[in-house]
Chains A and B, each alone.
Chain A
Amino acid sequence: MTTTTPAQDSQEPAGVLGRPLDSREDPGLLRGEATYVADIDLPGTVHMAILGSPVAHARILSIDTKAAEQLPGVLKAATAADFPDVMPLPCIWIPGGVESHFPPHPYGLPGARPVLTGDTVRHVGDPIAVVVAETPRQAAAALAAISVEYEPLPVVTRADHALADGAPQLHEAVPGNLNAYWTCGDKDRTDAAVAAAEVTVELDLVNQRTINSPIEPRGAVGVYDPATGEYTLHASTQGPHNHRFLLSALVLGIPFNKLRVIAPTVGGSFGTKGYLYPDMALVLLLSKALGGRPVKWVDTRTGLMNSTVQGRDHRQHVTLAGTRDGRITAVRCTSYANLGAYPSTIGPGVATALMGRSISGMYDIPAAFCEVYAAFTNTVPLGAQRGSGRAEAAFLMERLVDRYAAEIGMDPAEVRRRNLVPKEKFPYDNGLGWTYDSGDYRLNLDRALELSGYAGMPARKAAARARGKRLGVGIATYVAVCGVGPSTRMSKEGMLGGTWESANIRVHPTGEVTVTVGSASTGQSHGTVFAQVAADELGIDPGQVQVHEGDTLKAPYGQGTYGSRSYSMAAPAIALTARKIKAKLVRAGAVFLGVPEDRVVYADGGVHEVGNPDNAKTFAELAMAMWYGWGLPPEIEPALDETTHFDPPDFNYPFGTHIAVVEVDELTGETEVVDYTAVDDAGNIGNPKVVAGQIEGSIVHGLGQALMEAAEYDENGVLVSSDLESYALPRAADAPFFTLGRTVTPSPHNPLGAKGAGEIATVPPAAAVVNAVVDALSDLGVRHIDMPLTPEKVWRRLRGEAP
């Protein structure tokens, strides 16, 4: 057993930021007091159930809901025909981007998903009809009474197959099923470097489709107020403001200010709950149709698996070129990305830019090129999944580096060391579209090698063999683009919408402080960490700071929580707002202290006169005085209430090195992760305890993809792994304790020096584990094994069977 050793390079923080304060959210969660969407029980609530298609591809010839409407408790059944004016769900990340100050309409992308499907169903679970009844059971039972006549159509579930001649066609407007062909990097230079190389290695990789599986399924409660014409949506969402924008203006055609979106406590998301889903529109439409009765819908696990966006799903041919002495000269990737049946809110961007621009990882490579064919198939729409895009990129690059190291007979750690972007080259243009902000990659790698005891591995391998186990070691490094984002830069990536973040700080007469942010926690202890940020800046106790988020009526606009952006986007907005408050207090302090402004300093939560600490006012005194506003000159407004909209100059780029040690059982093919070392660099962090928790969870999520998780569709397009019996999630016995280390290179792109943290540690584990298992089996001639590394698959390779 190893123990978690938080090894930190940072110095002891001066204030409350950077300290491992206990999460203030935890006690309520431990008592089971938090309200998740399924726990919301408004007076008069009725319940909605959704009829999803049982077949993957078919024309709908007829739908009859009459029998369902006769059943006890049923209030209404509805189909697409009931909502003729409702627009389809927009896709706001269209690869390729726009060079414009005025965004085009987001329905520029063909194949947009209707709220209810009227003519053709395109995946199992595609919503066809809804029923509202007095109880959830009545609503669910009524679905069985709806009769639908289907004319089956041929099915395709793989991206590469969907692009082949004669493949089944999903959308009339998209001939050949090709949603996007997207490239980045320099094709000619890369092809030339590959042709001229001393050594080339190639791999065919399947980055299998996975299901995020937050433990709380999604849900929504819609309320329409006939008196005011206003709508309220309570939803299990990670982006209430974003959903408000998409739903009001784009789907329902109602003014932005007539829709309020509230995210209650959200039971995990990992990317999936930032997407717009048909159910969110339906509960609002039905509440209106029923004169304002609250309409509630809570998904089942099987429903979630057939409707909530899925992740990864690339088939790739990848090539690396290099010299005999270990210098990488080029990397090239051709990827077939499976977008599923419809473009999800930002799925096309995840499959292209988020993956493609990251393929060269932490390495200084002279030539790189990536091309992505993004195709429609009869599967659940593709979206983000913890570490999305970056995990796929790290996987291909880190598999290639190991393959290359084996080919030239060099230690994989040494190959990595020789090719890392050197410290003095930052900011570093990776030639694929990203400019890395800061880093000391070599220090990070060396730290991981040291913490993992890398030098002692040969001896451990020999000892394991004596026990009938094959020990393998796998290294994976990564860079993860985070801090989405700089709005103008995002527009060039094709993102339709502002990606800035905002914060408001209101200081009350009692000296207490309320911080409101547009972000919304899905379990990241924002209340704790954001209070630390404000308290640290203002020099007050975090206990004085209350944090509000997740309600569009209370909080200023913000995109929400995704891509590990809250601490490098929302927290800087809080810090900058606190600085505005301090600046105002210095100006007002000059009045209260009776000295010129340049004689006033803000320190320790109050102001005092330079060189005369007795002439001072505390934060509480200042708060009260500002509220009264007595004696303030006209140029200083009373009260303390400031807002900042933060749009960073560029992304930030956390990075790290993970090292997995596995033991493969020669008899059973079982893989056990026996040691795992992770050294991540997320710049300056706000709360090490909270971040360590997210890193540990992220690693286990990554191990899940490596070892057991796979969304499997059969030839009819039926998701076979559609519950938690057939889709394996890692359980407590599937992971060891981890050894965690840290390096710290602050980002220059925000005032906190923060980089993304929440999901970054999901990026490298799959590559580290597969590298380790291939290492364990390398003497058998094994060069690659596709994920997930199930015992059977590994056992067959141990017996010398071909893949």
Chain B
Amino acid sequence: MDLTRIELTLHVNGRPEEFAAPPNELLVERLRDGLGLTGTKVGCDTGQCGTCVVRLDGRSVKSCLILTASAAGSEVTTIEGVTTPGGELTGLQEALRQEHGTQCGFCTPGMVMALGELVETARAEGAAGGPPPTEPEIREWLTGNLCRCTGYHSVVRGVQRACAPAEPEGR
């Protein structure tokens, strides 16, 4: 038995991927280097910046803090799984576009993945008559994602727009 490699399967953006991973491999390394999904970024060494956020079984997680092996069998959604190349933007992305919520764009995929969960929850609660998230709640949610360009303002406005009940369906 080869202890330097672990055979496993990940369901990435709806597709099963089978491979053998070194036990110390990080999920972000598998996604970027192993599977060529470079939309997920690496901005730090300490789990602080949030550029590597992906959805793991629906929850947003920092893929630089997770070993590939520990994600075995899970559903992983990356930014590539949210839209098709050149394709239509989701409600959240469209709202961020309208508010110019991105400048250099390096933090953006991580933000979209992290905020997707917030917007989905908000919209589900909104459909049940609940209030949209408040500005402090949005800012709190964003605490795990650093952006050095926008000052977060356009991002917060984008989320407010995406959560507003009249807007088109978010994902």
Q: Which residues of A contact B (CB under 8 A)?
A: 1, 4, 22-23, 25-36, 38-39, 41, 136, 212-217, 265-270, 300-302, 522-525, 689-690, 692-694, 696-701, 723-725, 729-733, 735, 737-738
Contact = CB atoms under 8 A, between A and B. Distances in A.
Interface residues of B, number: 59
Given A27-B97, A302-B45, A735 B151 contact: yes
A529 to B, nearest CB: 12
Given A212-B148, A215-B49, 7 more contacts: A31-B82, A32-B38, A268-B106, A698-B151, A701-B151, A723-B45, A723-B48
Interface stretch (B122-130, B134-142, B163-171): B134-142
Given A38-B42, A693-B154, A697-B149, A33 B85 contact: yes
Contacts of A522: 104
Given A216-B106, A268-B148, A31 B46 contact: no
A697 B148 contact: yes
A732 B142 contact: yes
B83 A731 contact: no
B112 A30 contact: yes
A689 B39 contact: no
A23 B106 CA distance: 16
Which applies to chain B's interface (DSSP): helix, strand, loop or mixed? loop
Contacts of B41: 36, 38, 216, 267
Contacts, number: 188
A738 B102 contact: no
Nearest to A38: B42
A29 B154 CA distance: 15
Interface string B77-112: 011101101110100010011101111111111001
Pick the 8 closest A-B CB pairs, nearest first.
A32-B39, A523-B104, A267-B106, A29-B105, A32-B79, A700-B151, A724-B48, A732-B142
11 contacts: A4-B153, A27-B93, A30-B97, A31-B86, A267-B104, A524-B103, A693-B103, A724-B48, A725-B48, A733-B140, A738-B153
A31 B48 contact: no
Contact of B97 (A26, A33, A268, A724): A26
B36 interface: yes
Given A39-B38, A699-B151, A732-B143, A214 B104 contact: yes
B100 A22 contact: yes
Given A215-B43, A268-B103, A724-B48, A30 B108 contact: yes
Contacts of A267: 41, 43, 104-107
Contacts of B157: 4
Nearest to A35: B38
Name the residue among B51, B100, B109 with the largest chain A CB count within 10 angstroms: B100
B147 interface: yes
B148 A214 contact: yes
B121 interface: no
Name the residue among A27, A31, A690 with the largest chain B CB count within 10 angstroms: A31
B46 A23 contact: no
Contact of A215 (B46, B51, B138): B51
Contacts of B146: 215, 724, 729, 731
Contact of B43 (A28, A301, A733): A301
B27 to A, nearest CB: 15
B152 A732 contact: yes
B106 A36 contact: yes
Name the residue among A724, A729, A731, A732 with the largest chain B CB count within 10 angstroms: A732
Name the residue among B32, B40, B85, B108 with the largest chain A CB count within 10 angstroms: B108
Nearest to A528: B100
Which applies to chain A's interface (DSSP): helix, strand, loop or mixed? loop
B118 to A, nearest CB: 12
B74 interface: no
B61 interface: no
B143 A733 contact: yes
Given A1-B135, A697-B150, A724 B105 contact: no
Contacts of A689: 100
Nearest to A524: B103
A428 B44 CA distance: 46
A701 B40 CA distance: 25
A660 to B, nearest CB: 14
A32 B84 CA distance: 10
Contacts of B45: 300-302, 723
Name the residue among A33, A217, A270, A723 with the largest chain B CB count within 10 angstroms: A33
A32 B89 contact: no
A729 B139 CA distance: 14
A696 B104 contact: no
B69 interface: no
Contacts of B38: 32, 35, 38-39, 41
Interface string B56-73: 000000000000000000
B155 A732 contact: yes
Contacts of A733: 136, 139-140, 142-143
Nearest to A40: B38
A698 B149 CA distance: 7
A235 B79 CA distance: 24
Contacts of A735: 151-153
Given A22-B97, A268-B148, A732-B143, A32 B103 contact: no
Given A22-B97, A700-B151, A215 B103 contact: no
A26 B89 CA distance: 11
Contacts of A523: 103-105, 149
B156 interface: yes
A136 B85 CA distance: 28
A30 B49 CA distance: 17
Nearest to B51: A215
Contacts of B79: 31-32
A388 to B, nearest CB: 15
Contacts of A265: 104-105
A22 B149 contact: no
A731 B49 CA distance: 10
B39 A31 contact: yes
B109 A701 contact: no
A560 to B, nearest CB: 15
B97 A700 contact: no
Contact of A266 (B104, B143, B155): B104
Nearest to B42: A38
Nearest to B97: A26
B142 A731 contact: yes
A510 B51 CA distance: 41
A384 to B, nearest CB: 15
A151 to B, nearest CB: 30
Given A31-B39, A696-B153, A700-B151, A216 B104 contact: yes
Nearest to A302: B45
A729 B147 CA distance: 9
A724 B153 contact: no
A525 B150 CA distance: 12
Contacts of A302: 45
B112 A724 contact: no
Contacts of B46: 301, 723-725
B104 A700 contact: no
Contacts of A4: 153, 157
Name the residue among B43, B143, B146, B156 with the largest chain A CB count within 10 angstroms: B43
B49 A301 contact: yes
A265 to B, nearest CB: 7
Given A697-B148, A731-B142, A733-B139, A215 B104 contact: yes
Contacts of B48: 723-725
Contacts of A729: 146, 148
Contacts of A690: 100
Name the residue among B80, B98, B102, B140 with the largest chain A CB count within 10 angstroms: B102
Given A32-B108, A733-B136, A215 B153 contact: no
Given A32-B80, A732-B139, A215 B36 contact: no
A27 B147 CA distance: 17
B2 to A, nearest CB: 16
A267 B43 CA distance: 10
A507 to B, nearest CB: 26
